[in-house]
Amino acid sequence: MPALLMDLDGTIADTLPHLFASFRDAVAPFVARMPTDAEIIASFGPPERDCIMQILYECNDTTRTVVPQDLDRAVRRFHDYYECRHDAVHAFPGIPEVIQLARKRKWRFGVQTGKGRRSAVFTLERLRLRRETEYLVTGDDVRNHKPDPEGVKKALAEFQLPPSELLVVGDTPADVEAGTAAGAKTAAALWGAFDRDAVRQAGGTWVLEKVEDLQTVIEQWGKK
């Protein structure tokens, strides 16, 4: 049976506002200026520790040295804020139903995210989607992050499927490019994308304006 591999932030869950706030709180005592939304987005790919390190360097003036203790404290601040205020995070409307539809049709279901395993598991559990997730590959589980196809290939190996039977869904060009590089079918998800034009132009097999469009792809999969 085919498999569905979805990104988490901006695809399954509307997390971006909460992530922006979490990263800003994390670095607030250690930077000369607050990072912009675009700068935070630009750091995405690896787990949070690497993102925070990049932000610390980019948002400081030349007179301040970033020391390891600052990074450790910033990472702790991130997780404290992210977890204590997670009630602000919700799955996009229709996403749980789409996942249930795929599972009823005997699709395998996995999540690939650049998040670290701690925050990814926390979010999936709070959204009550952890039990639905057969396979989770996080930024802690790969050496090469999206758009490298390493994570997608790990999912293919886990599901024991040919690439043509995997649908990769994500809200960034890196999600689409990773799936394409692995030979999978891809869907560019625009409902939570930070840069809709960039995702639209990434060359996905499908471009999905709304969650209901993903349901249509799943329903029509076997008819192609």
φ/ψ of 73, rounded to 5, equals: -65, -40
Q: Is the pLDDT of residue 224 over 60?
A: no
Banded pLDDT at 63 (limits 50, 70, 90): low
Q: Look up the pTM and report it.
A: 0.95
The DSSP bridge pattern shows strands 108-112 and 166-170 to be: unpaired
What's the average model confidence in pLDDT over 136-142?
97
Helix, strand, coil share of the chain (percent; to 5): 50, 10, 35
Q: Which residue has the tokens 């912009």?
A: 36
* Mean of the per-residue pLDDT values of the chain: 96
φ/ψ of 90, rounded to 5, equals: -140, 150
pLDDT digits (tens, 9 = 90+) for 79-130: 999 999 999 999 999 999 999 999 999 999 999 999 999 999 999 999 999 9
**Side chain identity at 221, as an amino acid letter?**
W
Identify the burial level of 206 via C-beta atoms within 10 angstroms of its C-beta, where 0-12 means exposed, 13-18 middle and 19 or more buried: middle
Q: Return d(Cα 78, Cα 221) in angstroms, integer.
A: 40
Q: Is the pLDDT of residue 218 over 70?
A: yes
What's the average model confidence in pLDDT over 139-167?
97
- CA-nearest of 220, 7, 211, 221 to 109 is 7
| Paired residues of 111 in beta bridges | 6, 136
From residue 180, how far is each of 121, 206, 209 by CA, in Å?
26, 12, 19
What's the average model confidence in pLDDT over 61-70?
78
Q: Is the pLDDT of residue 73 over 80?
A: yes
Q: Taking each helix axis from N to C terminus, what angle separates 16-27 and 48-58, rounded to the nearest 10 degrees?
A: 60
Banded pLDDT at 19 (limits 50, 70, 90): very high
Tokens for 104? 């009823």
Q: Is the pLDDT of residue 21 over 60?
A: yes
Say if residues 23 and 52 touch (Cβ distance below 8 Å): yes
Q: Which residue has the tokens 């993102």?
A: 51
pLDDT at residue 67, as a whole number: 84
Tokens for 176? 């689409």
pLDDT at residue 44, as a whole number: 96
- Cβ atoms within 10 Å, residue 180: 20
What's the average model confidence in pLDDT over 7-30?
97
pLDDT at residue 124, as a whole number: 98
Banded pLDDT at 61 (limits 50, 70, 90): confident
Say if residues 172 and 192 touch (Cβ distance below 8 Å): no
Banded pLDDT at 222 (limits 50, 70, 90): confident
User: Please, what are the domains in the chain?
Assistant: 3-15+90-223 (3.40.50.1000), 16-87 (1.10.150)
